[in-house]
Structure 1
Amino acid sequence: MPSIDQMASQMSALCEGDTVICSTLVKMFGDAPWAPLVSSAITIVLILVLAFIIRRFAHRVITRVVNRAATGGSITSRFRKGAATDGIDALLHERRKQRAETMGSVLKHVASIVILGTAVLTVLDRLTIPIAPLLTSVGILGVAIGFGAQELVKDFIAGMFMLLEDQYGVGDVIDAGAAVGTVEAVTLRVTRLRDSDGRVWYVRNGTITRVGNESQGWSRAYMDVPVAYDADIVGVRVLLEQVAEEIWADPELRESKMVEEPRVYGVEQLSDSSLVFRISAKTLPSAQAEVARELRLRVKTALDTAGIPMVASA
C-alpha cells in the first residue's frame, strides 16, 4: 500500500496535469503542503455532485419522454365514436402507459449504472487506485456471465422488444405457442398465462417465437349460414341484413361490445349441397365470442320464422 506521502505526491502530479479544476485550486491555496490533497478532495466531491446532477437530469428527460409516449392520440378515430370505442381508447391508453413506465424504469436504471459507474471509476483514478485491473476483471466477468447466462440474456432482450413493440399486455388473450390463455403478468424474463382450465403457465420470453393476440385493438365475430341451393338468394341476404340491423339497434351490444355495424358478405362459399352466406361484426377485444353467440341465436330464429332451413355444408 502506498504511504500518505506517496499518495500526496501522486495527487500533486495529477493536479499538475489537471489544468481545469485541481490545478486551479492548488494555485488558489498557494504553496501549502496540504493543497494537493485538499484540491483533490474538492475535485472528487465536484465529480460526485456533477454525476448526481447529470443522473437527475437524465431521469427528468426519461420521465418526460415516457410521459409523452404514454399519452398518444386515439387510434380508433376511424371507427364511430361511442362507448365501445371510448373503451378501446381507455384500454389502449392504459396499455401504453404501463409499457412506457416499464421502459422508463429500465432506462433509468441503465442511466444510473452508466453515470454513477463512470463517476466511481473517475474517483478511483483520482485516488491513484489503478483501474485497469478492475476494468479487465469486470470485462472477464462480463464475458463469463454472458456465456453462462445466454438464455437469461435472450429472455431479457426478447422481453425488452416485446414491451417496445406492445405485442401483448396484462389481460390479453394470446396464443404463445407453448400455451394459450389470458396474460396475468409480464416481466422482462417470463410471461404468466392462465388457460381456460385454470392452469397457470410460465413461458420464458426467449422461447416465444410467435404470438397470436386476440385482444389487441379490435376483434371480429362471424357466422357462416349454409342454405339449400334452391333457397331464394336475395331473400336470404335481405333476411340476414335485417338481423344485422337488429343487432346494431340493440343498445347493449352497440354501446358495450361492437364498434361497427355488422356486414353481410353474400355468398361466401359454394359446395355440392349448399350455399354459404357470411355475416360478421367488428367488436371490442375479446368480445367476439359473445357477439358470435348472439349472431347465431338471432340468425337461427330469423331463418326458422321465415321457413328457410339450414343445411350441413360439405
Structure 2
Amino acid sequence: MFPPTTPKEATTTAATGDILDGFQSFWDRIPSNPMNSIVFPFFNIVLVMFLAWLVVRVLDKVIDQAFSLGKVENRTAKTLVKLIKSISHYVIYFIAALTVLAKIGINLGPVLAGAGILGLAIGFGAQNLVRDIITGFFMIFERQLEVGDVVQINGQINGTVEEVGLRITKIREYNQRLHYLPNGTITQVTNYNREKMRAIVPVTVPPDSDLDIVDEALKEACMTVKEEYKDQIISDPEVVGITNMDVNGVQFTITTIATPEEYFIVERAMRKEAVLSLHKRGITIATPRSVVVSTDQLKGSSKKNR
C-alpha cells in the first residue's frame, strides 16, 4: 500500500513476496485444487441431501393438507396418505442419489445401464419382494383393509391396521404387540369394519333351569340393548332359541346386526344384559360339570356284579 521507508522494511517486503511466490508455485504444481476436488463436491452432496430432505418434508405437509381438505373417507385417506408418502420418499431420494453421483463426476449412462442389468438379476432373486409389492398394490386398490380397520390375518393375528404399505402391513394387537407382515404372506383377510356385522352371543344355563323364565329374561335383555344402542344396531336383537344341549347345560343364543364400528361394544352389552337379567330371576350361568368316582366305589360296584 505504501512504499517502504527503511531498508529493513524493504527487506521484509521482499522476503514476504518470495514466500508468496513460492507458495503459489507449490499450489500450481498440485494436479487438482482440494477446494475443487474435495470441499466443493462435499458441499454439493450435503446441499443435495438437505434439499431432498426439505422437499420430502414439504411434500408430506402438502399431501396431509390435500387429504384433509378432500372428501375422502377417513380410513381411506389415512391409507392413501401413508402409501403416497412412501412412494414419494423413494422417488425423491432416488433422484437425489443420481444427482449426487453426477455432482462427483460419475457418468450416469453406464450407471443406469448397469442398474437395469442389476435390477434384472435382482428380480430373479427377489421374487418375494416383487410378490409383496404386487400383493400390497391389490390390497390397497381393492380396499381389502385400511388404516384403523379391525382385522384378522390368515386366521391367526387379530388387531388394528396401523399402516398399509407396498411391501409390508403393520397390525397392532389388543395387547399392543406390533406385527410387521410382508404383504405376500397375507393370504386371508377378515375385516370386521365392512358394512355390517352380526353379533352372536351364546348363553348357557344349568339343565334344571326353567326354560320359559330363561327365554323371558333374554328377551328383556334384548329390549334393553335395543333401547340403549338404537343408533348402533341395524336389526333388533332377538332370541334365536335353544341352539345346543349337553351335560353342562342348555344353550340359548341371542343375536343382532350392528354397525362395524360398534360391533364389539354391542356384543359386550348383550352379554352383560343377559347375565343381569338372568341373575335378577335367580338363574346363574352354567359351569362345566365333572363326575368324580372313587376307587372304593368302583371296587364295590365290581363285587356286586359278581
Consecutive unaligned residues in structure 1, runs of 5 or more:
1-69, 72-89, 107-132
CA distance in 2, matches of 1:239, 1:197: 34
What whole-Å deviation, never above 9, does each CA across 1:219-260 have from its counterpart, x for those lacking one?
Answer: 33332222233433333223212221121012xx222x3222
- Tell me the distance in 2 between the aligned counterparts of 1:173 and 1:304: 33
Identity of aligned residues (%): 33
Partner of residue 150 from structure 1, selected from 127, 145, 156: 127
CA distance in 2, matches of 1:302, 1:193: 37
In the aligned structure 1, how far is the partner of 2:272 from the partner of 2:265?
11
2:140 touches 2:164 (CA, 8 Å); kept in 1? no
* TM-score normalised by the chain length of structure 2: 0.54
Deviation of the 1:272 alpha carbon:
2.3
Aligned to 1:254: 230
1:99–1:166 CA contact under 8 A, matched in 2: no
Match of 1:233 among 211, 216, 229: 211
AA at the equivalent of 1:172: D
* Deviation (angstroms), 1:95: 4.4
RMSD: 3.6
Q: Match of 2:147, SS?
A: coil
Which amino acid counterpart does residue 282 of structure 1 have in structure 2? I
Report the equivalent of 1:242.
220
Q: Are 2:241 and 2:252, in contact at CA under 8 Å, matched by a contact in 1?
A: yes
Deviations 1:33-86, CA, capped at 9 Å, x for gaps: xxxxxxxxxxxxxxxxxxxxxxxxxxxxxxxxxxxxx99xxxxxxxxxxxxxxx
Question: Where does 1:1-314 land on structure 2 (aligned, <5 Å)?
Answer: 93-95=73-75, 140-177=117-154, 179-250=157-228, 253-255=229-231, 257-312=232-287
Contact 2:83 2:166 in 1 (8 A): no
Task: Supply the distance in 1 between the matched residues of 2:151 and 2:159 (Cα, whole angstroms).
Answer: 6
Distance in 2 of aligned mates of 1:260 and 1:199:
35
Structure 2 unaligned spans of 5+: 1-69, 87-109, 290-306
TM-score computed with the length of structure 1 as normaliser: 0.53
Query: Could you tell me how far apart the structure 2 residues matched to 1:223 and 1:275 are?
Result: 14
- Please state whether the residue corresponding to 1:185 is helix, strand or coil: strand
- CA deviation after TM superposition for structure 1 residue 297, in Å: 2.2
Deviation of the 1:277 alpha carbon: 0.3
For residues 120 and 278 of structure 2, what CA distance do their matches in structure 1 show?
A: 70
